Amino acid sequence: MQNIERITLTAKEVAEMLGISKRFVYELCQRNELPHKRIGRKVLFSKSQIKEWLEGGESKRNGMKKFKVV
């Protein structure tokens, strides 16, 4: 069986990566401040878009605002 590398993250994984709560991840999604895709009821995050977002770039396709780190 092949080992397939995932290209997406869950809200829980993004929360752990950013050091914030899962609830806040969903709040950022609602405010369109975090790049994400909704597939039915599931919310998924592209690893590459999250990395770009963290590095200060804005997602040009979605017009997402970058997150202000305080």
Which one, of 35, 12, 36, lies nearest residue 24 by Cα? 12
Say whether pTM exceeds 0.75. Answer: no
**18 membership: H or E segment, kind and range:** helix 11-18
At 38 the three-state DSSP class reads strand
pLDDT digits (tens, 9 = 90+) for 10-52: 999 999 999 999 999 999 999 999 999 999 999 999 999 999 9
CA terminus-to-terminus distance, the chain: 45
Q: Is 17 left (phi over 0), alpha (psi -120 to 50) or beta?
A: alpha
Instruction: Supply the pLDDT for residue 70.
Output: 41
Fold classification of 1-70 (topology level): Multidrug-efflux Transporter Regulator; Chain: A; Domain 2 (1.10.1660)
Gap between the Cα atoms of 70 and 62, Å rounded: 24
Confidence of residue 57 (pLDDT cuts 50, 70, 90): low
Question: Has residue 56 got a pLDDT over 60?
Answer: yes
